[in-house]
Chain A
Amino acid sequence: MVERTPILNLFTHLILFLGFVFCIAPFAIVVIAASHSLKEVNDVPMSLLPGSDFWVNLQTAWTTADLGPKLFNSFVMAAGVAAGKVIVSALTAFSIVYFRYRGRTLIFWLIFVTLMLPLEVRIVPTYAVVANVLSPYQAILDVTGLSWLIEKISGVEVSLNLGLLNSYTGLIMPLVATATGTFLYRQFFLTVPDELTEAARMDGAGALRFFVDILLPLSRTNMAALGTIMFLWAWNQYLWPLLITTDASHATAVTELKQLIPNVGGMPEWHIAMAGTLIVMLPPLIVVVAMQRWFVRGLIATEK
């Protein structure tokens, strides 16, 4: 458009540049602080010219917080949640969109309600469930008197116990148990033309065939978007892994950050803390940069 707005343009550039600085500065400061020595990082004001201890600090942070295995744990958890969501949600959406059965509306609402209550607000009981994942079923058996019956008949006391604390399954499963992806797929399936289903049926494809040969390939972009967003979401989880990984071997990189908070007394080791922070924030940042399109698309689609 032909427009002469020099003052407004100047203002636009100025504000956007300030926004850019506001957004990039914390990253820059983390990188710079991570390159300083203990003395330099505690200088007031800290020098904004990078120091020379970058690699040393990274190594120290890496070994202090034992980040190798922790990053691996984070990766397993994030990939597990992403894969679980992509698969489970597709199946469910297929069921509620393409079939008519009794109770379908009930199932729809049961799943829909889970959107409302995030894990953070129900951590206490969820923790109890994960400690013994079969406890709900044990309780059902107990209440219905089935366990009493079984004990009478077989003489075996029914005690279902499967603890998922300190396990990948325990980390992953509760994070998969929400509806985010289901509704993304549902919205998409509803836009798939009915003619396509009819054509597939004319060609002799059954439900499963249609799902695998037609619906899933068409959903590829949605899967990429959902996978990206869920990977990031899971990677960045903090409260849940903090709770259920009492044993350090299953801790994730994000929870391990806490180990790097400098101790009170003595000179705070901010250079190591920042080096560790950098290592932990880098993988999701790489995903955001490399998968920007899917990330933005996934965010907007899952929230709708």
Chain B
Amino acid sequence: MEKRVTFSRSTIGILFAVPQLLLIFTFFYWPAGQAVYWSLTLQQPWGGGNIWVGLDNFRSILSNADYWHSISASLVFAAISTGLAMVIALVLAALTDRQLAGSRLYRVVLIWPYGIAAPALAMAFRFILAPEAGFMAVVNRFWPGLWDPGLDGVAAMASIIVAFSWKYVGYNFIFFLAAFQAIPRSLIEAAAMDGAGVVRRFRDIQFPLITPTIFFLLVINITESFQDSFGIVDIMTAGGPANATNLMVYKIYSDGFKGFDYSGAAAQSIILMLLIIVLTIFQFRFIERRVHYR
């Protein structure tokens, strides 16, 4: 889309864009380029020169079982938490959209979790799911040793999934509800006149019309599960036990800033960037579909 009326053909207009261009050059493009450079060199921490090593960094991380483990943990985390957060939010939004008594309250409250910082909610869930105090302790009293995220990798993964899903149910709810409410009321009424009941209307009219939102949220949730999980992992499990929750971003952080392996961390960043770019391109194909209906 373009404006028909503009101010002038002169280049004065470019001045308005200069602040942002400087910012993105300094803090985006340069670092991104730097990451590529580092990933292809062996970088000494705290300066001290670097050696060109080509794709060696990639070779070494891709042949590292820990890295593959981190990727698979990230994918498991992404798949389950996205699935949970989206299905729960979809059901809640669809039911809230029925606008029975009290729906206004739900509309207000259900979005609160998204406002909370990941580390803060992680702290809350660390307590709630703690094996010795809090609520899972009750479970452990009946079946001793059943639940211990500190020792059991599955329990640790389950903990971070619960915490992440809790936050993103709120996020997805906002979008699903907005999507439902964007469906013209008359379409629902027309379907009711055509004889469709509540469930049938959802299946035949509402659900097909919000598929673009579903695809959009799918991509956002997966992307966020790579990024926003950092605070949750750092507070709840610190990647443990035995790397069970060492998700990709957390591994970049711990390899780069705790292990001082800048080159390895840079190579991992590049792989993660590529993954996210692929996802984003995938999303754009579906954004086109969204326009389709109108």
Q: Report A's interface with B, CB cutoff 8 A.
A: 1, 3, 5, 8-9, 12-13, 15-16, 19-20, 22-24, 26-27, 29-30, 33, 41-46, 88-89, 91-92, 94-104, 107, 110-111, 114-118, 120-130, 133, 136, 173-174, 176-179, 182, 189-190, 194, 197-198, 201, 206-207, 210, 232, 235-239, 242-243, 254-255, 257-258, 260-261, 268, 270, 273-274, 276-277, 280-281, 284-285, 287-289, 292, 295-296, 299-300, 303
Contact = CB atoms under 8 A, between A and B. Distances in A.
Given A98-B6, A116-B280, A190-B3, A15 B91 contact: yes
Given A121-B252, A123-B252, A292 B127 contact: no
Interface stretch (B75-83, B153-161, B262-270): B262-270
B204 to A, nearest CB: 16
Given A182-B20, A238-B118, A292-B108, A268 B256 contact: no
12 contacts: A19-B92, A23-B113, A46-B134, A46-B135, A89-B20, A94-B16, A98-B6, A99-B14, A129-B34, A173-B26, A238-B119, A258-B234
Interface of B: 1, 3-17, 19-21, 23-32, 34-35, 38, 88, 91-92, 95-96, 98, 100, 102-103, 105-106, 108-121, 123-128, 130, 132-135, 137-138, 141, 166, 169-171, 174-175, 178, 189, 192, 197-199, 216, 220, 223, 226-227, 230-231, 234-235, 249, 252-253, 256-257, 262, 265-266, 269, 272-273, 276-277, 280
B119 A254 contact: yes
Contact of B111 (A88, A201, A292): A292
A268 B126 CA distance: 12
Contacts of B4: 194
B103 A16 contact: yes
A99 B26 contact: no
Given A125-B31, A125-B38, A16 B96 contact: yes
The B interface, classified by DSSP as helix, strand, loop or mixed, is helix
A100 B9 contact: yes
B133 A46 contact: yes
Contacts of A97: 3
